[in-house]
Amino acid sequence: MNWTTIGKIERGTSSPTVESLVRIADALEIDPGTLISGITASDYGARQHQITARELIAARRSGSR
């Protein structure tokens, strides 16, 4: 992981992958769960997309019949 990526994560301009979280936790010698403890979906605000991928696939399947 390079310093640019770490900086983006720290500033909140990039979201780390699960692998990145595990690697950061390993470097800090902590359990990876500590980094996300207490975070819920509501912490991210409203969903940007109007439908989920599952809903899009279902809509396309029902429209093609």
pLDDT at 50: 75
Residue 35's nearest CA partner among 43, 25, 45 is 25
- Summarize pLDDT for 1-39 with one digit per residue, the tens: 888 988 998 888 888 999 999 999 999 999 999 998 888
Fill in the DSSP letter of residue 15.
Answer: P
Distance CA 38, CA 50 (A): 26
Q: Which residues of 31-63 are buried (b: 16+ CB within 10 A; e: fewer)?
A: eeeeeeeeeeeeeeeeeeeeeeeeeeeeeeeee
pTM of the model: 0.58
pLDDT at residue number 64: 59
